[in-house]
Chain A
């Protein structure tokens, strides 16, 4: 069965610092992978997705993620974090039967 692990429950970074959020997945075939962001009291917004092709995918708001099949990982990165990036981030795998990780809460220090 497909599953997603986000090892970090909470991460704090300083504004302007780089960010990497980890995601490991378990999937029987070529995975459909997503990163969503959720601000407090809001729904989920898609940051980026990977289905096939180039393993480095670019998303909105300056985010990118790299698919590494050998490590079963799909880590999210941003070179310089802004205060407005503070939110909960979810990695997900699958299509119709999408499974979400537990989420990583990002705090940005001024």
Chain B
């Protein structure tokens, strides 16, 4: 298995631009998580999905952030418009709710820089 796949790995954009981060979970996993990691705030859970349905988006910082999961193999996190304070590493993770394993598997992350 290729693990959780995230793209792009690095993104540099200018303030005000729209940014879309992508995630492909591990095949068969039915929970997907988006995290943000910064020096100041550490690792924060932004939103998670169970069976493609958003369950808890209380960690999404502002309305500028939105996430979708149109099918079991793909999710996006969009920031529109982006701001310099959105610069961070964004991680996607997935988990199987049915295997009993309970471990979240993390992707390599997308390093976002907003100028």
Contact = CB atoms under 8 A, between A and B. Distances in A.
Interface string A76-104: 00000000000000100001111111110
A51 B102 contact: yes
Interface residues of B, number: 20
Contact of A90 (B43, B56, B107): B43
B42 A95 contact: no
A96 B108 contact: no
A44 B43 CA distance: 11
A100 B46 CA distance: 13
A97 B103 contact: no
Contacts of A95: 102
Contacts of A42: 108-109
Given A96-B48, A97-B45, A100-B43, A43 B109 contact: yes
Contact of A103 (B42, B106, B107): B42
Interface residues of A, number: 20
B72 to A, nearest CB: 17
B42 A100 contact: yes
A96 B31 contact: yes
Given A32-B102, A96-B56, A100-B43, 7 more contacts: A43-B4, A43-B107, A46-B104, A51-B102, A90-B43, A96-B48, A101-B42
Interface of B: 4, 31, 33, 42-43, 45, 48, 50, 55-56, 91, 93, 102-109
Interface of A: 32, 34, 36, 42-46, 49, 51, 90, 95-103
17 contacts: A42-B108, A42-B109, A43-B106, A43-B109, A44-B91, A44-B93, A46-B103, A49-B102, A51-B102, A90-B43, A96-B31, A96-B56, A97-B45, A98-B104, A99-B45, A100-B43, A101-B42
